[in-house]
Amino acid sequence: MSFEQLKKKEQSKKSYPKYWDEKIETMPRKELEALQLELLKDMVAHAYHNSPYYNRVFNEQGINPDTIQTLDDIKKLPFSNKKVIRACQDEAPPFGTMVAVPEEEIVYISASSGSTGSPTASPFTQKDFDDWIDFESRIFWSSGMRPTDRYCHALNFSMFVGGPCVYGAQKLGALSIHAGTIPSERLLALMQQFQPTIIWTTPSYAWYLGETAQKKGIDPAKDLNINKIFVCGEPGGSIEVTRRRIENLWDADVYDYYGISDIFGSCAAECEEKSGCHFAEDQILVEVINPETGEQVADGERGELVLTTLKKQARPLIRFRTGDIVSYTTKTCECGRTSLRIDGVHGRVDDMLIIKGVNVFPSDIEHIIRHYHELTGEYRLVVDRVNHLDTLTVEVEYVEGYTGNIEELAQAVQTDIKKSVAVSAAVHILEPDTLPRVTHKAKRILDNRGNVWGR
Ligand SMILES: [Zn+2]
Confidence of residue 361 (pLDDT cuts 50, 70, 90): confident
Look at residue 110 and tell me whether its pLDDT is greater than 90.
yes
- Say what the alpha-carbon torsion angle 397, 399, 404, 405 is, to the nearest 10 degrees: 0
Residue 365 gets which letter from DSSP? Answer: H
DSSP 123-186: EEEHHHHHHHHHHHHHHHHHTT--TT-EEEE-S--SS-TTGGGHHHHHHHT-EEE---S--HHH
Dump pLDDT digits (tens) for 228-262.
999 987 766 777 888 899 999 999 999 999 998 89
Counting every residue written for the chain, the total comes to 455
Residue 57's alpha-carbon distances to 76, 98, 246, in angstroms, are: 12, 11, 47
Going from the Cα of 276 to the center of ligand 1, the distance in angstroms, rounded, reads: 7
pTM: 0.81
d(CA 31, CA 29): 5
- Ligand 1 center from residue 341 Cα (angstroms): 8
| Per-residue pLDDT at 57 exceeds 90 | yes
Q: How far is the CA of 118 from the centre of ligand 1 (A)?
A: 37
Identify the structural domains of the chain with CATH numbers, from first to last: 3-28+126-348 (3.40.50.12780), 353-447 (3.30.300.30)
CA of 254 to the centre of ligand 1 (A): 14
The residue-averaged pLDDT of 319-345 equals 94
Distance from the CA of 24 to the center of ligand 1, in angstroms? Answer: 13
Q: pLDDT exceeding 70 applies to what percent of the chain?
A: 93
* Predicted local distance difference test score (pLDDT) of residue 349: 79
- How far is the centre of ligand 1, averaged over its atoms, from the C-alpha of 339 (Å)? 8
pLDDT in tens, 284-327: 999 999 888 899 999 998 899 999 999 999 999 999 999 998 99
pLDDT at 390: 81
Question: Distance, CA 58 to ligand 1 centroid (Å)?
Answer: 37
Please tell me the distance between residue 277's alpha carbon and the centre of ligand 1 in angstroms. Answer: 8
Q: 316 near 43, Cβ under 8 Å?
A: yes
Residue 158's pLDDT is: 87
* Least confidently predicted of 218-227, 290-299, 334-343, 354-363: 354-363
Q: Is 218's pLDDT higher than 50?
A: yes
Task: Note the pLDDT of residue 172.
Answer: 97
- pLDDT level of residue 451 (50, 70, 90 thresholds): very low
CA of 237 to the centre of ligand 1 (A): 16
How many angstroms does the Cα of residue 167 sit away from the middle of ligand 1? 23
Q: How far is the CA of 331 from the centre of ligand 1 (A)?
A: 10
How are the residues of the chain apportioned to helix, strand and coil, as percentages rounded to the nearest 5? 35, 25, 40
Q: How far is the CA of 268 from the centre of ligand 1 (A)?
A: 11
Give pLDDT, residue 452: 39
Lowest mean pLDDT among 55-69, 179-193, 357-371, 397-411: 357-371
Give CA torsion, residues 436, 437, 438, 439, to 10 deg: -150
Does residue 213 contact residue 245 with C-beta atoms inside 8 Å? no
Contact 142, 276 (CB under 8 A): no
**Dist CA 174 CA 144 (whole Å):** 11
Q: How far, in Å, from the CA of 158 to the mean position of ligand 1?
A: 31
pLDDT at 371: 87
pLDDT, average across residues 382-407 = 89
Closest CA to 132 of 262, 269, 312: 312
CA 21 to ligand 1 center in whole angstroms: 14
Name 320's bridge partners.
80, 307
Q: Are 131 and 107 in contact (CB under 8 A)?
A: no
257 C-alpha vs ligand 1 centroid, how far in Å? 13
Q: Give residue 41's identity as a one-letter amino acid code.
A: K
Asked if pLDDT for residue 111 goes beyond 80, the answer is yes
181 Cβ partners below 8 Å, 6+ apart? 154, 155, 156, 157
157 pLDDT higher than 50: yes
Distance 259 CA to ligand 1 centre (A): 17
Q: What is the mean pLDDT of residues 93-118?
A: 87
pLDDT at site 455: 27
8 C-alpha vs ligand 1 centroid, how far in Å? 24
Q: How far is the CA of 336 from the centre of ligand 1 (A)?
A: 6
Mean residue pLDDT across the chain: 90
Q: From the CA of 335, how far away is ligand 1's center (Å)?
A: 4
pLDDT of amino acid 198? 98
Q: Does the pLDDT of residue 8 top 70, yes or no?
A: no
Ligand 1 centroid vs 27 CA: distance in angstroms?
13
Q: Is 117 helix (H, G, I), strand (E, B) or coil?
A: coil
Distance 173 CA to ligand 1 centre (A): 22
Q: How far is the CA of 88 from the centre of ligand 1 (A)?
A: 37
Summary count for the chain: helices (H), strands (E):
12, 19
Q: For residue 337, how far is its CA from the centre of ligand 1 (angstroms)?
A: 5
How far are the Cα atoms of 373, 398, 435 from residue 405, in angstroms, in the given order?
14, 11, 20
> What is the whole-number distance in angstroms between the Cα of residue 13 and the centre of ligand 1?
17
Q: Is the pLDDT of residue 359 over 90?
A: no
Q: What are the residues whose beta carbons fall under 8 Å from the beta carbon of 115, sequence distance 6 or more? A: none
Calculate what percentage of the chain has a pLDDT beyond 90.
Answer: 69
**Mean local confidence (pLDDT), 12-32:** 91
Long-range contacts of 120-125 (CB under 8 A, 24+ apart): 120/82, 120/85, 120/86, 120/89, 120/261, 120/262, 121/89, 121/94, 121/95, 121/96, 122/161, 122/261, 122/262, 122/263, 122/315, 123/95, 123/99, 123/314, 123/315, 124/312, 124/314, 125/101, 125/313, 125/314
86 vs 51 pLDDT, higher one? 51
d(CA 75, CA 68): 10
Q: How confident is the model at residue 14 (pLDDT cuts 50, 70, 90)?
A: low
